[in-house]
Amino acid sequence: MSPKHLVKCLVVLLTWSAASTAQDGPAHPSWPGRGQLYVGACYQPVDRSPAQIDSDIAIMKRAGFNVVRMGDLSWDSFEPSQGTFTFEWFDRIMDKMQENGIRVVVDIPGSPAPIWLHRAHPGVDIVGENGARVPPAERYMDNIGDPDYAREAGLLADAITKRYAHHPAVIAIGYDNEIGDGLMSYSEPDRQRFIAWLKTKYGTIGNLNKAWATQRWSRRLNGFEDVDLPLASGPGPAERYLDLHRYWSDVTVERLRELEAIRRRNMPDVPSISNLWDTAGRRGFDYLSTYKSYVSYGAEGFYPGEPIGGSLGALMTKGDLDTPIWFNEFTAGGGGFYGTHGRSRMYAYVALLIGAQAALAWTFNSHIGGEEQALFGLVDHDGTPSWKVDEFARIAHEFQQLAKLGFPRYTRPEVAIAYSFESFIASHPNGPSSTTRQYFQADYTQQVQEAFDPLFRANVDVAIVNVGNHDLSRYKLVVVPADYVMDAAGAKALRDYVSGGGTVLMTALSAKVDERAQWFETPLPGRLSDVFGLKTNEFDRVDASLSFELNGASVDSGLRWYEVLEPSTAAVLARFTNTPDHSPAVTINRFGKGNAIYLATESKAAAIGPLLSSIYKMVGLQPGPRTPEGVYARVVDGRTLYVNTTEREQRIPIEGRRKGMISGRFYEGAVILGPQDADLVP
């Protein structure tokens, strides 16, 4: 049977359909929901005099802003000395915001910790890898694992949430700005806390030795006191490096859950909308496995370099939450970058496409001193409103109209892409002796983006999920790009999903190591070889770009490295045309009621894009509106929102004559969008 006929047969056999559980409203009746859009700014009143604050609020009101975020990075302004709280200054500003119709996200500023806390409790100081104290000179140089820090941060949160529990300006609470950033600490108490964590995780020193493969190169531990804290800068090995990041992830999540417990106790009707940074390079944390225990709305700082990567990052904060995305910081300028006309507005419409509800410019005032002196906000250093105030005013005005037309979008993705914090860490361990970096030639996150790229270009909504911690049954297709670590929970979720009728597309480099970051001793892909009906142990490369034929079309992958697949029950959908034995490029295996598809190359848009296109019909997936390169679109209540992200005019064919609901322009036969423009077309 030819691959084309096999696909047609499988279309008939597929019976699985996704049932969306998304709601058209917030999870709580008092939370921001459909018909509510927010535009405003992040505001640091600690930098401003009373007269300047009055002037700033007047500018915000004229611009039509309806939300600000305040309080972050200001612990010692609320608590100048231990146990002494001064809220009156903030009360006055909160009252003024309320009087001017501006809602407030109150950020609990648990990071950075004030100098008095470092002096009173030296355990809050960071100790470097060399054992020396690191002075808290910049942001996030606090040891959040220290119990004195945790206690004092909790007292601060309790005081703030009690103070503003019933203030009418409050729309949400945020936790510890960018908590995923910051340094790891290497004090003796930190080592002891890490040992306690290992004892809980592994139980015995024998189990730890096995998990860390300490028989290799004579690294056996005779007792837990032999444990040293692995160094973030290296050397590894991979097993210890992964546990180091797991430990600090657990510390971070514990702090967030403590804050969430305080919110639930003191402000149960106010959602948490926090500017978290789980992918921060210095520490990070496992957000997608844990977020539902401390997040009401996915939120982040949105500083896209380009639309696809920026949208992927935003969707990683949403996961499969039914609530919209909040951009607690939104691109307005940058370090040494003043901004360009139209860029923020264009990205505001990209944000609406993917389900955003709020855009808060970072920042309102350009910073005079501190760490971001050359970061340009909406208001210039001399207090003069820049042209960016007018641009955000335009966004605010247009969003006010769009809120009546079905926004924010409550997305119902039928496709999920797997993302794993553990695969991110384990695929790039530190140290000069690591061969994993040589094997994992393409960056893991980039491979996830390469899988996302063709779906985003096809205007298909996508959820980013950790497969072991999400309900996969709502999706018609789950894409698993380069998911290096395959733990038991993830494998079971994928097995159950396919068996129940779902379709999984997995790429090379997936399911190579277990939860200890050790390679499987069983056929690869580990724990799933039977699901995919094959094994793959051999890796090879060719001198020219790998190509294969799929549904009669030639696919040039742009890659030279591939896995040699050995099908057992899987059928071959495509073979490489330029490998020595024309080995399988794509296979498909019927498992239970569903299908498991394997791509023998790493995840790259040129290779995975054509394969995804061939799968749409098979799984009953409809691509979104057809648009030119660089133009993205979604249908919202029968109207189509088009966003041109390019620097040139674009024409999008339509039938008949339509009137743009943003522009007021009439279009005949084609929507014509100028550079970085957008319109909503019936």
What are the pLDDT digits (tens) for 645-654?
A: 999 999 999 9
Q: Supply the pLDDT for residue 335.
A: 82
- Alpha-helical regions (H) of 319-367: 343-353
For the chain, the domains span: 3-21+412-619, 38-185+269-405, 631-681
Contact by Cβ (8 Å): 256, 179: yes
| Residue 131 DSSP label | S
CATH 2.60.40.1180 matches 631-681: yes
Low-confidence ranges of the chain (pLDDT < 70): 1-25, 432-434, 437-438
pLDDT digits (tens, 9 = 90+) for 260-270: 999 999 999 99
Q: Is the peptide bond before 235 cis (omega within 30 degrees of 0)?
A: yes
Q: Supply the pLDDT for residue 16.
A: 29
Q: Supply the pLDDT for residue 1.
A: 37
Indicate the pairing of strand 356-362 with strand 38-42: parallel
Give how far the C-alpha of residue 322 lies from the chain's centroid of Cα atoms, to the nearest Å: 15
Q: Which two tokens stand for residue 1?
A: 């049977």
Q: Supply the pLDDT for residue 268.
A: 97
Ramachandran sector of residue 548 (left: φ over 0; alpha: ψ -120 to 50; beta: rest): beta
The Cα–Cα gap between 615 and 502 comes to 12
Beta-carbon neighbour count of residue 44 at 10 Å?
19
Give how far the C-alpha of residue 494 lies from the chain's centroid of Cα atoms, to the nearest Å: 21
Total residues belonging to the chain:
682
Helix (H, G, I), strand (E, B) or coil at 670: strand
The Cα–Cα gap between 640 and 655 comes to 13
Beta-carbon neighbour count of residue 200 at 10 Å?
9
Which H or E element spans position 583?
none
Q: CB-side exposure of 362: number of CA atoms within 13 Å?
A: 19
Q: Supply the pLDDT for residue 20.
A: 32
Contact by Cβ (8 Å): 146, 189: yes
pTM (2 decimals)? 0.94
Superfamily (CATH H level) for 3-21+412-619:
Class I glutamine amidotransferase (GATase) domain (3.40.50.880)
Contact by Cβ (8 Å): 319, 411: no
Helix (H, G, I), strand (E, B) or coil at 661: coil
The angle that helices 88-99 and 50-63 make with each other, rounded to 10 degrees, is 30
Write the burial class of residue 153 (CB in 10 Å: 0-12 exposed, 13-18 middle, 19+ buried).
buried
Ramachandran sector of residue 183 (left: φ over 0; alpha: ψ -120 to 50; beta: rest): beta
C-alpha distances in Å from residue 32, one per residue of 67, 101, 108, 311, 403: 12, 15, 20, 22, 12
Helix (H, G, I), strand (E, B) or coil at 577: coil
The Cα–Cα gap between 589 and 525 comes to 13
Q: Is the peptide bond before 584 cis (omega within 30 degrees of 0)?
A: no
Give how far the C-alpha of residue 634 lies from the chain's centroid of Cα atoms, to the nearest Å: 21
The Cα–Cα gap between 543 and 517 comes to 31
Write the burial class of residue 412 (CB in 10 Å: 0-12 exposed, 13-18 middle, 19+ buried).
middle
Taking the domain 38-185+269-405, which CATH number applies? 3.20.20.80
Give the closest residue to 534 by CA, choosing from 502, 499, 508, 497. Answer: 508
Helix (H, G, I), strand (E, B) or coil at 540: strand
Contact by Cβ (8 Å): 169, 102: yes
The Cα–Cα gap between 236 and 230 comes to 7
Q: Supply the pLDDT for residue 374.
A: 86
Q: Which two tokens stand for residue 285?
A: 């944390």
Contact by Cβ (8 Å): 469, 421: no
| Residue 623 DSSP label | -
The Cα–Cα gap between 357 and 251 comes to 30
| Residues forming beta bridges with residue 553, ordered by sequence position | 550
Q: Which two tokens stand for residue 390?
A: 């007018």
| Residue 510 DSSP label | -
Q: Which letter, b or e, does each residue of 362-391 get, where b requires 16 or more Cβ atoms within 10 Å of its Cβ?
A: bbbbbbeeeebeebbbbbeeeeebbebbeb
